[in-house]
Structure 1
Amino acid sequence: MPRFSRARRQDVAEDAARDVDTSRVAMSHVVAARQEGAEGGAALRVEGVTVRFGSRRPALDTVDLSVRAHEVVCVLGPSGSGKSTLLRAVAGLQPLDAGRVWLGGEDQRDVPVHRRGVGLMFQDHQLFPQRDVAGNVAFGLRMRRVPASVREERVAELLSLVGLADAGRRGVASLSGGEQQRVALARALAPRPGLLMLDEPFGQLDRTLRERLVQELRELFTGLGTTVLAVTHDQGEAFALADRVVIMRDGAIAQSGAPLDVWRRPADAFVARFLGFANVVPGRVAGRRVDTPWGRLPLAGGAAAVAPGEHTVLVRPGGVRLVAEPGGLPCEVVARTFHGTHVSVRLRPHDAPEIEATCALHEAPERGDHVHVGFDAQDVVVLD
């Protein structure tokens, strides 16, 4: 799957995190439903779930996770982190070695996949080529013996929602990748599942189409009040889609929280680097300062709560600024990447780790230039 550049991922995640609670199609009854769902407890509860494959380390290691009714949760992490195994365990496609899965307050032990009331949508669509679009969307309703008149009404409603109102009689082979993805979504939503689960739903689509579909799905889920558990390894998608992101590492949850909170304050160096931040170094905190390989850096007011001593320190690229020579850290520009709205530069100090900085177009130095940089306190974050 093509990945965003680091700077592009940061742009997408930063913008999405700020706007994650807005929607053009939000309605008052949906807000009320969300409040009711929050009061009513979790739509999904995973307790101590462990999955092992042979003698290797657990693919899932005593994972605990709750998803509230009408909440959109995205699980992300690198390959092998356990995110897809978690989805399969919730769906009943993967047996558990330990732990419990609860859906709608009911223990799912020994409940087969087709009786769990979940909708599944995979990156390869898995549409039925012998059926037209309407036949694919209606499949789950037919299996539940829903009357034909009700099926037709539901199919028409969903095809309209996903922007394919006139495509019911088309063969699925004639559809574009984005259109097939919309049909797969409509099919998953048709039986009104208590939980919709998406496994790398945009993996086969190009970047521009992925970004557009992510925003459309966000609005659709908000309008319908759908409870969603999605899996992706792309943080841009997760931050644009989710109310809450869950980052996994080695079969365990490394961090969980609102997108903006996770972006502003990663839990540790692993999360920071996974989010695309390169400026992560050891440091020693003393009061409102932290000593790092780049010198003594200032800390914002909240640093009073940080215990003095050894820590890991993140400096966001936007907080590395070019300054006049006195007092700045001397660096050489070793790389320069144009991103349309800004330029990322990689700086090499003498006898210290390289630094990534983000510059405005008119301020960006050229490769080989010698510059001096300073650090903004609000972008110096003490991790762990």
Structure 2
Amino acid sequence: MLSLEGATVRFGARPVLDGVGLDVAEHEIVCVLGPSGSGKSTLLRAVAGLQPLDAGRVLLDGRDLAGVPAHKREVGLMFQDHQLFPQRDVGGNVAFGLRMHHVPRDQQDVRVRELLDMVGLPGAAGRAVAALSGGEQQRVALARALAPRPRLLMLDEPLGQLDRSLRERLVVELRELFGRLGTTVLAVTHDQGEAFALADRVIVMRDGRIAQSGTPLDVWQRPVDEFVARFLGFDNVVGATVSGQVADTSWGKVPVPEGTGHGERTLLVRPAGVRLVPAADGLRCTVAARTFRGTHVAVQLQPEDAPRLEAACALRDAPEPGDEVGVAFDASEIVVLG
């Protein structure tokens, strides 16, 4: 439904979007991830018509949007800071787009009630915006963006200002709501958990280009290169020389997946693939630190003459700082990058 072809935006001589090609299917939820300055918000603004392209095209249902102003593009846009109108009540905010499209007043009222029910704010039309919590304001902003029935809904850091527990709850509700409505969504977020919970497909951007695109499971299990792996929070990345079913690394011999080509490679060892064994039976390490992560304990291990390793342990099995342990590696948790 949405296509970007060679989309390029330059700020001075620097390309912020650098020849981006992207297709979004109808009813698909696509989340764009990336560090600050990677071009993800500029991509959203270019689709919305708020940032002109220096080269390339944006097409919606095959129609080139060049020269089409933002308010005529049939896209809804929801910002991180809500941008609600403080002088209007909740109903007035939700109905704003409907008024701009000259929808009759009685139909506006029906649509506002329907949307407020849908986002979990029944009967809130007469409430003042200033009296709402952050989560409630986010729901009003979503209802306002959905009111004109946009062909494409775009979200810019939609839950960024909310506390973690509320974000986790709302992202589940959003996923269910978009599925029920059949909404096509293009979202930008810096929060990986939010993106992986919400999206059908995840896009990782780097320096104005798409570094990787795939289902959340594909991207998580098979990062395409060291940049994506480290961006996703994996630090056990090491250079290796592969020969047969093993690789020589600074951590010693490490097993590699069957079919790995010989020669110089870069390996990712997931924390779950770092197994703790008696010190005499593996790579000898000292426990440098441990951090409780809710579902597991992240244990930082320092070998004598090699980079640190992170292991994921059950709380009951986690060693204490200062303990001496051994490390063995699980081939099923090792990924060959690049």
TM range (shorter): over 0.9
Q: Distance in 2 between matches of 1:185 and 1:336?
A: 40
SS in 1 for 2:11: coil
CA contact (8 A) 1:73 1:245 kept: yes
Partner of 1:299: 256
Picking from 79, 94, 101, the partner of 1:122 is: 79
Aligned amino acid, residue 250 of structure 1:
D
Matched, 1:54 2:18: no
- 2:15 maps to amino acid: P
- Name the residue aligned to 1:64: 21
Distance in 1 separating the partners of 2:119 and 2:265: 48
* Partner in structure 1 of residue 274 of structure 2: 320
Pick from 210, 235, 238 the counterpart of residue 281 of structure 1.
238
For residues 94-133 of structure 1, the C-alpha deviation after alignment (integer angstroms, 9 at most, x for no partner) is 0111000001211001111011000000000000111111
Contact 2:279/2:324 (CA < 8 Å) preserved in 1? no
Larger strand proportion, structure 1 or 2? 2
**Could you tell me which residue of structure 2 aligns to residue 108 of structure 1?**
65
Q: Does 1:378 align with 2:329?
A: no
What letter matches 1:248 in structure 2? M
In the alignment, the residues of structure 2 paired with residue 292 and residue 148 of structure 1 have an alpha-carbon distance, to the nearest angstrom, of 70
Over residues 175-196 of structure 1, what are the superposed CA-to-partner deviations in whole Å (9 max), with x where a residue is unaligned?
A: 0000000000000000000000
CA distance in 2, matches of 1:133, 1:90: 27
Equivalent residue number for residue 346 of structure 1? 300
**Conservation of the 8 A alpha-carbon contact between 2:29 and 2:201:** yes
* Greater relative contact order structure (CA < 8 Å, 6+ sep): 1
Q: Which amino acid aligns with 1:310?
A: E
**For 1:333, which of 275, 287, 293 is the aligned residue?**
287
- The one of 35, 54, 58 equivalent to 1:78 is 35
> Are 1:207 and 2:164 an aligned pair?
yes
Which residue in the other structure is 1:17 paired with?
none
Percent of counterpart pairs with the same letter? 71
Letter of the structure 1 residue corresponding to residue 5 of structure 2: E
Aligned residues: 338
> For residues 261 and 290 of structure 1, what CA distance do their matches in structure 2 show?
24
Alpha-carbon distance in 2 for matches of 1:276, 1:298: 22
* TM-score, with length taken from structure 1: 0.87
Q: Which residue of the partner structure matches residue 13 of structure 1?
A: none
Tell me the distance in 1 between the aligned counterparts of 2:266 and 2:103. Answer: 57
Please report how far the alpha carbon of residue 377 of structure 1 lies from its aligned counterpart in structure 2 after TM superposition.
0.6
User: Which of 188, 195, 201 is equivalent to 1:238?
Assistant: 195
1:131–1:171: 8 Å Cα contact kept in structure 2? Answer: yes
Once residues 208 and 77 of structure 1 are traced to their aligned partners in structure 2, the CA distance between those partners, rounded to angstroms, is: 22
Deviation readout 1:325-358 (Å, 9 max, x if unpaired): 4441100000111123321110000110100001
Q: Give distance in 2, aligned partners of 1:177 and 1:215.
A: 17
2:144 matched to 1:190? no
Higher mean displacement: 266-275 or 307-316 = 307-316
SS of the aligned residue for 2:188 comes to strand
Deviation, 1:299, is 2.0
Q: One-letter code of the match for 2:157?
A: E
Unmatched tracts of structure 1, length 5 or more: 1-42
Paired residue for 2:263, among 309, 315, 327?
309
Contact between 2:9 and 2:17, CA under 8 Å: does it hold in 1? yes
Check the 8 A contact 1:342/1:359 in 2, yes or no. yes
- Please say which of residues 322-331 and 219-228 is displaced more in the overlay: 322-331
- Post-superposition Cα deviations, 1:227-277, rounded to whole Å, max 9, x if no partner, equal 000001111110010000000000000000000000000000000000000
Look up the equivalent residue of 1:111 and give its one-letter code. V
The one-letter code of the counterpart of 2:330 is: D
Counterpart contact for 1:104–1:194, Cα < 8 Å: no
Structure 2 gaps, min length 5: none
Distance in structure 1 (CA, Å) of the matches to 2:43 and 2:153: 14
Determine the C-alpha separation between the residues in 2 that align with 1:228 and 1:114.
Answer: 17
1:33-71 deviation per Cα after TM superposition (whole angstroms, max 9, x unaligned): xxxxxxxxxx1000001100012x200000000000000
- Kindly indicate whether the alpha-carbon contact (under 8 Å) linking 1:133 and 1:168 is maintained by their aligned counterparts in 2: yes
- C-alpha distance in structure 1 between counterparts of 2:291 and 2:146, whole Å: 42
Which residue is equivalent to 1:224?
A: 181
Give the CA RMSD over aligned residues: 0.9
Separation in 2 of the partners of 1:283 and 1:378?
17
AA matched with 1:284: T
2:39 partner letter? G
- Partners in 2 of 1:97 and 1:340 — Cα distance? 46
